[in-house]
Each structure stands twice: as structure tokens, then as C-alpha cells.
Amino acid sequence: MHEARRRTQPHTPSIVCLILVGATLLKGALLVSDAVPFNADEAVVALMARHILQGERPWFFYGQAYMGSLDAYLIAAAFHFLGERVLTIRLVQLALFLLTLATSYRVALCFTSGRLAGALTVLLMAFPPVLLTLYTTATLGGYGETLLVGNLLLWWGHRLAHQGGRPVGLWLLWGLVAGLGFWAFSLVVVYIIPVGAWLLWRLRRQALRGYLLSALAFAVGSIPWWLGNIGRLETGIAEMMGTAVRSTAVADTFLGNVGLRLFNFFVFGLTVLFGLRFPWGMEGPPLWLGVLPLALYLGALLYGLRRSFVLTGIWCTLLLGFILTPFGGDPSGRYFLPLYMPLFICTAALIAKLREHLGRWAWALPGVVLLFNLVGTARAALHNPPGITTQFEAITRIDHRYDHALIEFLRQHNERYGYTNYWVAYPIAFLSGEEIILVPRLPYKEDLRYTPRDDRYAPYGALVAASPSAVYVTTNHPVLNELLRSRLREAGVEFMETQIGDYHIFYALSRHVTPAELSLPPGG
């Protein structure tokens, strides 16, 4: 496996199309079974898309100065034609995933020189570990776009390198897509840095005009990032470097954090990447079934990465970013998604090589990997709740099958405004057509910690403040419920309570009382 010009070989469109059909069927089964809960981050993107159709023009995910709103604009377009439903959001993610699969074949051909390895790469990508399935089914605002943009940068970068940097239009496309991807999600730099460095090394001075055109195109593609950060550039850069998730770094020193993040990388990150555990916990598919896939993955990385500067560069760039920034405190594995393309290319190349020695017995290798991945996916989907969820902390996992029951209860009791936590506020706002607005002013962590960043959309707060009544909705938090009872009684407020699924509701309050009046969060 190498970056040399690949041999001219016939394409295998029928095989790739068959794989795409299989991937679509798998996604369809997950959607029909409601195995992937509608989460709060996804609801924020959905609300942004709705507001875009109403005339708003957000630059970034609400409440942030990074992670652009490209995904929301794509969903807004789909809403216009297909209606404002959760299914529509998932169809957009499916479309992005199918495009990623289609371009994966072209990328694999660039780095392996073999159509068999190309088809195997698409096959492994189409039926992957749960981590990739999760973040290409539900959206958190830009992972699907990042994977697609990464494939385009790898594919077009390879073409530029082997055509001597001559196609001017391709330089412009490469820079434009890189800039757009940078706005959508700065994680795309794990592709930009190694591909850019490789092009500089391989072409050196013979492509000076190409470098300049690509840089100008990057500036054009990233214009939304710059416009969105006018007057707050320092904040945008800081959030891009991880200040928004700095609470995940718990060591007292820089070296301590680096050590912790290295531990997260190898213990939490790689285990979820290989499918040995699920992104939301330590459980996973049967470990005995993962012995051969793990051995194959490790052997493939040893075999393949040393033959490819670019694929190795993706791993090294992500590793450095992970251990040097607060993003390395996230144990879910979601920042590891760009590693799948190098991993699957290396695995496919090794299987193709082994086929020369093992013959048809080599087909058992991808078969065992796919079996392991599908068993893991089925086990996660059938264990619902939590289902295939983005929620790493158990206390934040909500049985969303009761969402509509909660909405109906609040409608019947004319409780349209109130207070809750982040994981409830935005799904209920979207599903109710923004008829019910609950602002996230309550803590959800066991130690009652709260961050004002949870309150993503200021207009909702104004609506709740103007309401003569307010309802309180909590989830999975007996300590907070008891604190609420105590503080409401101390304030002389009469109320009623009920439980619907995971939702505990304090309603029919004798007057509107805010969390600040109740000193919730404590000391707030």
C-alpha cells in the first residue's frame, strides 16, 4: 500500500452499489425500530433548521463560537421538502453517509492500487462498529460533513500530487471544501494538515500557484467562520481549541492532563473505535467475538500506516490534538471518527494481501469483522433504553419514548412554559412545535453542577420569564426533586407532582417562581 499512482483497473460499481443498498437497509432498520434516541444536541440543530426557514441566519451551533451551522442549513432544505420531522433529520445524515461510502471507494483506490481493497474498505465502512453507526445516524452538528469533506480532501489531494499540481480547478475545489469543512467542524484539520504537508513535500516549488489558489479558496470557504466570529475572534479560537469542554480535563497540571488524555486515547478511545465497547459505557458485544477483529485491526495498522505518510499523519494529528487540548477528556470516542478511513483502508489492504496466500479462506476475515460489528449493533439496538445513544453519563439517559406523553400532559394542564435541564428542553421544544418552552436552568449532574452554557437560545428565556405560570421538569434526579420540594415550600409556593416515564413534573404552582429565587442551582 503506497501513495504511488494506482494501476488502471476496472471499477466495481455494482458491488459498491450493493453495499450502499445494504448500508441503507441497516440504517432503515435502526430508524424503524427507533433504536437511536432523539437527543438534545440533535434537537438544537433541528430547531436551528426550523428557525432558518423562518428567516434566522445562525453562523454556529446555538451558544457556541465553533462548529458551524452547515448541518442545520442542509436539514432546513430537507425540512422544506419533507416536513419538520425527526425522520427528515436522519435522512439527511443517511444521505451524507452514503456519499461518504461512495467516496470511500475512490479514496481507497488512491491508497491501495486495488479494486478489491477499495470494495472491502466500503464494506467495512458500511457495516462498522457502533461508534460510527451512532454518529452517522444521529447528528451533533457536523460529524457527517467532516467525514465526507475528509474523503474529498484525501481523494483530490492524491490526484493533485500525482498530476503534478497542474489542475487549477482542483486546487480551488480542494481549498474551498477545506475552508467549508473548517467552518462546519474544525475537526477537519486532521485531514488538512497531513494532506497539505504531503502536497508541500511532494510538489515543493512546482505548485506555488496552486498553493496560493488553494489558500485563497480556503479563505472563501471559511468566510462563515470569520463572519460569525466578528468581534469575538479570541472566543472563537479558544472554543476551537477546546475551552467549551475544558471541564472534562480534571488533572491539576498540564502534564497531568496529557497523561490522562493519553489514558483516554488508548483505554477509552481505541476500545470504542475497534467496537470493543459502546460509546456510552463499558459494556459492548461479546469480547471473545472481538479477538480476531482486534488482531486484524492491529496487524493492519502495523502493515499499512508505515506505508502511507498521509494515513499515518491523520492518526498522528488527531493524537496530538487529543492529548494537547481539553477535547482529550471526552471518553465517548466521537472525535476518533476520522480514524476509521485509515483503519479500514489498512485492513482492506492487508486482507487483499493475505488473499494471495490464503485464497478463499481470506474471506473469513472480513466475515468475522462484520459479524462482530453487527452483533454489537444488534445488542445495542435491542437494549433500549438507552438504545444507541450519545449520552455517556447514565444520569443523562432519558427514555424518550415518553416525550409525547409529557407534551400531552403539559398541554392538558396548560403548562406551556417552565424550567428543566438541557437534555429535556430542546427535544420537547422541537417535538411540540415550540408550543412548549422549557428553558434549561436546572442542573442534571449528580453533584448539582450547572453551566449557563446549557441555555442555548436566549429568546426562549424571555418567553418563560413573561409567562404568569411555570412548570418544573426533572429527570433521574431524586436529590434535586427533594431540593425542589423543600425550596418551593420555603417560598410558600403550592404545587402538585406527577411522574411520566423518566420525567418528574412539578406543576400547578401557585405562582411563577424562578430557579434563581429558589437558589437553584445551589448558590445560584
Do residue 410 and residue 475 come from a single domain?
Answer: yes
- Residue 249's pLDDT is what? 53
Q: pLDDT tens digits for 115-170? A: 999 999 999 999 999 999 999 999 998 999 999 999 999 999 999 998 887 888 99
Q: Is residue 432 part of a domain?
A: yes
Whether residue 181 is predicted with pLDDT greater than 90 in this model: the reply is yes
Whether residue 465 is predicted with pLDDT greater than 60 in this model: the reply is yes
- Residue 128's pLDDT is what? 98
One-letter amino acid for residue 69 of the chain: S
Do residue 155 and residue 274 come from a single domain?
Answer: yes
Mean pLDDT within 46-68: 95
Do residue 352 and residue 417 come from a single domain?
Answer: no
- Residue 6's pLDDT is what? 43
One-letter amino acid for residue 99 of the chain: L
Whether residue 53 is predicted with pLDDT greater than 60 in this model: the reply is yes
pLDDT band, very low/low/confident/very high, at 247 (cuts 50, 70, 90): low
Mean pLDDT within 463-482: 96
Q: Is residue 516 part of a domain?
A: no
Alpha helices in 113-135 (DSSP H): 115-126, 130-135
- Residue 255's pLDDT is what? 86
The 3-class SS string of 380-414 reads HHHCCCCCCCCCCCHHHCCCHHHHHHHHHHHHHCC
Whether residue 11 is predicted with pLDDT greater than 70 in this model: the reply is no
Mean pLDDT within 189-202: 95
The residue ranking higher by pLDDT, 85 or 249, is: 85
Mean pLDDT within 455-468: 96
- Among 328, 350, 382, which residue terminates a domain? 382
Do residue 479 and residue 363 come from a single domain?
Answer: no
Mean pLDDT within 438-448: 94
Alpha helices in 325-399 (DSSP H): 340-358, 364-382
Do residue 98 and residue 204 come from a single domain?
Answer: yes
pTM for the predicted model, two decimal places: 0.94
Do residue 477 and residue 352 come from a single domain?
Answer: no
Q: Is residue 515 part of a domain?
A: no
Cell numbers at residue 159, please?
A: 490526484
Whether residue 233 is predicted with pLDDT greater than 90 in this model: the reply is no
Range from 138-142, 247-251, 312-316 carrying the lowest mean pLDDT = 247-251
> What's the CA gap between 441 and 453, in Å, rounded?
10
Q: Is residue 196 part of a domain?
A: yes
- Residue 44's pLDDT is what? 97
Do residue 367 and residue 412 come from a single domain?
Answer: no
What is the DSSP code (8-state) at residue 77? H
> What's the CA gap between 376 and 380, in Å, rounded?
6
- Residue 492's pLDDT is what? 96
> What's the CA gap between 311 and 344, in Å, rounded?
11
Do residue 97 and residue 141 come from a single domain?
Answer: yes
Do residue 376 and residue 481 come from a single domain?
Answer: no
Q: Is residue 524 part of a domain?
A: no
Do residue 59 and residue 175 come from a single domain?
Answer: yes
How does the average pLDDT of the chain come out, rounded? 93
pLDDT over 90 for what percent of the chain?
80
Do residue 88 and residue 199 come from a single domain?
Answer: yes
- Residue 201's pLDDT is what? 92
pLDDT band, very low/low/confident/very high, at 9 (cuts 50, 70, 90): very low
Do residue 139 and residue 228 come from a single domain?
Answer: yes
The residue ranking higher by pLDDT, 340 or 385, is: 340
Whether residue 173 is predicted with pLDDT greater than 70 in this model: the reply is yes
Q: Look at the chain and report how many structural domains it folds into.
A: 2
- CB atoms under 10 Å from CB of 464, counted, come to 20
Q: Is residue 389 part of a domain?
A: no
Cβ pair 417, 513 in contact under 8 A = no
Q: Cell 433504553 sits at which residue?
A: 385
Domain of 503, in residue numbers: 396-507
